[in-house]
Each structure stands twice: as C-alpha cells, then as structure tokens.
C-alpha cells in the first residue's frame, strides 16, 4: 500500500523531509525542494532557483505578469508625470518577453494582471487614492494626463506597453484589479483553483509594491511562489527590490532568472 504521508516532517525513502501532507506536501532534500512529489505521471523539471533548486511539473504552473502598463512603463504615463523613474520600470520589459517565451515553451498559462479602475472611482478608498496622489498638484487615479485618465479601463495609461501587446494570445487569462494585490476582489484565486494551477512565476512592476503584495497573497493561500528576478523592476530605489528578493528567498518562496526558467533540467518526461 502506498504511503499516505499524513505526518508533518515525515521522512521519505530517499531521506527527504515532508513539508505539509498528502497532495499538498513538498519534499525537502539537502540539495533541492520537490514541489510536486505526488505527480506520478506528469513531466518534472528541475529549475536552478534560490535558495535551492526546485522540482515541479509545468502542468501546474503559470506565469503572472503584473502591471506592465503605459502609466508605469511609458513616457507620458503616471510614473513619468509624477517625476518617478519610469525608465527603471522599462528595464523589466526584456525579461518579461523572455519569461513569456519560456512559459509558452512549457505550455503554461500566461496571466495578465493589471489596474483597470472604474471611471467613477466609487470602489476606491482614500488609502488607495493617496498611494497615487501625495500632494494636491500630483495627478492621481482617474485624473487627466496628456494621453488620458490615469489607470482607468479603456484609457491609454491602462493599456499594456507596445512591446508586450504582440505577445498576448487569445487563450491568456486577464485579471482586472483595483488594489495593489492581484488577489484582492478579483477572480485570480478562482481561476487558479479551477485550472489546477499551484505554482506561480511572477514578473512585472513595481516589484516592491504590486508584484510583492500579489506574491505574498499567493503565499498566504499556499500557492508556490517564484519571483523571476530579471523580469521585474521598480521605480523605487534599488534597495527596495533587494529587500523583495531577500524576503522572497527566505519567506515567500523562491527566485530565479528567466534563463533558469527557460532552461530547466528534465527530471522525467511524461
């Protein structure tokens, strides 16, 4: 009879330690973490991640691309108009392009998560509005800039940057959000559960704000979280991203490069 693995910190036949139990468990070995030991028929890939390489099935993975929108990453957008470093946000674009190519290669879902606010802003409270308007003269969500209203559905600022539009496919998943976290008040969790997705690979901007809050919410819901370091960026000072990378490796999950994402070792073919 197959072992049920109902005991936390149980020992496997190869000496690994079980984290959690049954189908939710990981196997923690000396030199890797197996995120899907219960997957007996799926392809298994070994990714060069930090703090430790991970083994997982691509069948249950998805790439989550967050807020790669004109208002954050294009000249004339909100970040630019606010005097912040939109060019720093643009540094994520090549990495996001590589991440999308890798996800397509692994036949993973690509999930686009982005701000699409209501034109009347009735569902936004003062704390969220203040995040985008720190002084009376600054243009906030829903106010007019050169190309239209900030982060409002149907406006230029809420569109994906031109470099990524050609990479969007009909089968991709789109999640509209109205808070920093892509889970708050959205269908993201429901989509993940119904599609059998357990491991989320994160890309986008700002890594220290919307990316990390979405990633933390994924962790709180027991998803496996992986940050693609060179597919993320921020207009904040560099130490802000450094802190996210550190906390991801030590708390939320794992980090890796887009090269590691694209070129895993095949442990087992289906």
Domain membership of residue 125 (yes or no) is yes
Whether residue 33 is contained in a domain is answered as no
Provide the 8-state DSSP code for 50: B
Does residue 21 fall inside a structural domain?
A: no
Does the residue 215 lie in any domain? yes
* Host H or E run for residue 18: strand 17-19
Q: Which of 71, 177, 230, 241 is catalytic?
A: 177
177 among known catalytic residues: yes
The answer to the question of residue 107 being in a domain is yes
What is the pLDDT, as a whole number, of residue 40? Answer: 79
Looking at residue 5, what is its pLDDT?
Answer: 63
67 is catalytic: yes
User: Is 210 marked active-site?
Assistant: yes
pLDDT for position 41: 79
- Name the catalytic one among 73, 208, 210, 217: 210
Residue 19 lies in a domain: no
The one catalytic residue in 56, 59, 67, 80 is: 67
Q: Based on the structure, what is the number of domains in the chain?
A: 1
- CATH of residue 257's domain is 3.40.50.850
The Cα–Cα gap between 244 and 259 comes to 20
What is the domain range of residue 119? 57-264
Is the residue at 62 inside a domain? yes
Written as six digits, the tokens of 216 are 């933390």
pLDDT along the chain (270 residues), means of 10: 68 89 87 90 94 96 98 96 95 98 97 96 95 95 95 96 97 96 96 96 98 98 97 97 98 98 91
> pTM of the full predicted structure?
0.94
d(CA 32, CA 24): 17
**Of 94, 186, 191, 178, nearest in space to 132 by CA:** 178
pLDDT at 6: 72
In a domain? residue 137: yes
């Amino acid at each position: 009879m197959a072992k049920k693995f109902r005991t936390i910190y149980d020992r496997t036949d190869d000496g690994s330690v079980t984290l959690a139990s049954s189908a939710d468990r990981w196997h923690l070995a000396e030199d890797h973490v197996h995120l899907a030991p219960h997957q007996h028929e799926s392809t298994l890939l070994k990714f060069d991640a930090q703090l430790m390489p991970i083994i997982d099935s691509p069948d249950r993975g998805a790439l989550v691309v967050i807020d790669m929108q004109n208002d954050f990453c294009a000249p004339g957008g909100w970040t630019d108009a606010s005097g912040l470093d939109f060019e720093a946000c643009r540094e994520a674009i090549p990495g996001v392009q590589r991440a999308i190519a890798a996800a397509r290669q692994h036949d993973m879902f690509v999930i686009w998560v982005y701000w699409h606010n209501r034109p009347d802003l009735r569902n936004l409270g003062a704390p969220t509005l203040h995040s985008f308007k720190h002084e009376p003269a600054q243009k906030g969500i829903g106010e007019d800039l050169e190309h239209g209203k900030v982060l409002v559905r149907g406006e230029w600022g809420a569109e994906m940057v031109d470099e990524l539009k050609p990479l969007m496919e009909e089968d991709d998943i789109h999640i509209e959000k109205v808070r920093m976290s892509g889970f708050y008040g959205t269908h993201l969790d429901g989509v993940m559960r119904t599609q059998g997705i357990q491991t989320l690979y994160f890309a986008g901007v700002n890594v220290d704000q919307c990316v990390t809050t979405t990633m933390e919410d994924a962790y709180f819901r027991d998803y496996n979280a992986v940050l693609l370091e060179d597919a993320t960026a921020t207009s904040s000072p560099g130490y802000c991203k450094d802190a996210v990378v550190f906390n991801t490796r030590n708390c939320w999950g794992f980090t890796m490069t887009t090269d590691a994402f694209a070129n895993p070792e095949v442990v087992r073919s289906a």
